[in-house]
Chains A and B, each alone.
Chain A
Amino acid sequence: MCRQMVRKLTQQIKFTLVDQTKMITAASELSRNTVVYGGGGEMRWQIVSQGIKTGLRLWFEDKGPGIPDVDLALTDGWTSGTGMGVGLSGSKRLVNEFEIRTAVGEGTCVTVTRWK
């Protein structure tokens, strides 16, 4: 999957092992979401910098049905254990910045950033 790519990138930027793991896991969750709920999608990446900070930004975009109630999807679904809940809210905790743009019928785009 895209894991190898993200692993390579995080190693390039020299993230700590834990940060690498968190980023790759978040990428795994989000790309799985695009496949399972969005009918397939694409991931874009960019190495970003803000002043002296360096980081990795990933975009996960699909042209699926979109998420009707984002707030609901973002509330912790971990006790109910169903797919999307953990993936979205969990990923949010694994990264420093999390943005989601979605609308019914217009697909979804999740942007995540992790700083070194």
Chain B
Amino acid sequence: MTLPLYGTASQSAGFCSNAARSVVRLRSVDSAAERHAADFALAGTREEFQRAVEADWPSILVVSDGSIDLPGAFKGRLVAVPPKYDYLADGDVIGFDHASRKFRTLYRRKSAHNSFLVTERCNNYCLMCSQPPKDIDDRWILSEIKESLPLIDPATRALTFTGGETLSDWEDFIAVLKECRDRLPATAIQVLTNGRAFADSRIVDAWKDICHPNLIAAIPVYASVDHIHDHVVQARGAFDETILGILKLKDRGQRVEIRVVLHALTAPIIEDTGRWLARNLPFVDHVALMGLENTGFAIANDAVLWMDPVDYGDGLARAVDHLSAAGVNVSVYNLPKCVLPKSVWPHALQSISDWKNGFVEECDRCDEKNTCSGFFTTGRPRFSRGVRAITAQRDELTTLAD
């Protein structure tokens, strides 16, 4: 079940017209924390709503299936959202559009997988893009993020910035990262980027000058050959810029992760790509080999992209071996253990963001479920023919078959 992070409020009141949007932090009604102007009491029942009013909360968000009658005394702001958003909790941050009443959950304090979408613009156009690019002016998003940062719990362990291409407005974005450094010094920051901007020395130097204590750029590389990578990302010259960007980042001592999404264009050559990365870029901080999320453009290009993971397992195992032998930290993301060769299991992480992570019925019987990444719930999930519960009995049968 995919958690709904977007929605429309059923009711709102008290928002002034001099701003189009507000950033809202939710607080439990009984919270003793110091109240910020952006704080809304979170009420799940009418009873809680009453208590919030009595506790002089100036702003209240109610999760309700019906309409709320406002007591006359209440002069503050109100947002009412349908019951499917009952996951909302103390410390969560949402962005609210006054006119349309549309809102987005920007941050969930209890989640280990918080990511901020920075823009939908991108200078690549990947065949499997899960967030298809739009050429629009959405610079307001960065402003909204800037407003959100003071509301985020400084104990948050990690945040991801994603897009589109996060460095599309690199000056403003780097300013946001500096804010993170100052307001959230204990929070590890991961930035997903195609890395092409770092071919420009001005940008990589500005990145270095952030002097963030725990920042990593996660950059996809899909092949060891220019035209194959360029075709996957649908941009001529992308490979050359991306590799140059990685070199410049490393030259300035910055942390880099390389990601390879596995599908019919990248998986058959994954051993070559892994060997090439091990030989040419062994100094990167991490390599993530990732199962495909069948959403966005991946659905449109399904005929070209779909490949059953059991058909690329051997190549994947050899790629992992090349990388580990070269001393590279390598992980496999988004692929359930039943479709992976056993040699890869130590590298297989539970990586799918909680809000889009699920299992199938077969998994109830599986011994490895607790350490398995499971499946994406987004888009049109496609399942390998290799999906089956791993049990001791199955291992015996396999041995007999051998």
Q: Do A and B bind each other?
A: no
